[in-house]
Chains A and B, each alone.
Chain A
Amino acid sequence: LAKTTQPISMDSYEGQEVNITCSHNNIATNDYITWYQQFPSQGPRFIIQGYKTKVTNEVASLFIPADRKSSTLSLPRVSLSDTAVYYCLVAANTGFQKLVFGTGTRLLVSP
């Protein structure tokens, strides 16, 4: 499994764009990059996944450079409700995935 490294915490203010970068130097050819969001007292939930270049959905954008050794989760115009822990995972796109979560990035959005 490719190891991932992300900042432990980040602070932001409402209305700002937040970018959380994850390093995964040993990513394999058939690995996808997936991000989860966890609110207090809840289990994590899937927010976005990508393989290369850029992916965008209604929640976030995911930027992946050509070498795929890192990825950046971008949250546009955050609100207080985006305060959560964000996890970056790397897992293969075939068969079983042993989903190992790291420590995640604790994002605090202030008024």
Chain B
Amino acid sequence: NAGVTQTPKFQVLKTGQSMTLQCAQDMNHNSMYWYRQDPGMGLRLIYYSASEGTTDKGEVPNGYNVSRLNKREFSLRLESAAPSQTSVYFCASSEGATRDRVEAFFGQGTRLTVV
């Protein structure tokens, strides 16, 4: 059971380049999230998808776009990378709340450096 898989694990971009971070989950979860984490900081929500076919902005959406390709996959696109987007990006998924858990499962992260 792979859980949440992110690709790539590492990436170096030049300012102005574009790229797409891929995320896939195999737990049949409805909700998916993208976060960024700067050094020594907490996680900040970029975009989320409550269910297949829907996406919404989180706390820091500027400079990013997302696509919920299907129930399994949720991609994050940087159209024109900037040094301020240097960060570790985490994808997460969640089934939703139950009486036992409100639990999100996270991928291993993508370390992005923009030079």
Residues of A within 8 A of B (CB): 32, 34, 41-46, 49, 85, 87, 89, 91-104
Contacts and interface: CB of A to CB of B under 8 A. Distances in A.
B43 interface: yes
Nearest to A106: B40
Judged by DSSP, the binding face of B is loop
Nearest to A31: B102
Contact of B35 (A32, A93, A101): A101
A34 B102 contact: yes
A92 B98 CA distance: 10
Instruction: Output the residue of A46, A87, A89, A92 with the most chain B CB within 10 A.
Output: A46
Judged by DSSP, the binding face of A is loop
B54 to A, nearest CB: 9
A93 B109 contact: no
12 contacts: A34-B102, A42-B106, A44-B104, A44-B106, A49-B102, A89-B102, A96-B51, A97-B102, A99-B48, A100-B45, A100-B58, A101-B42
Contact of B104 (A46, A93, A94, A104): A46
Nearest to B6: A43
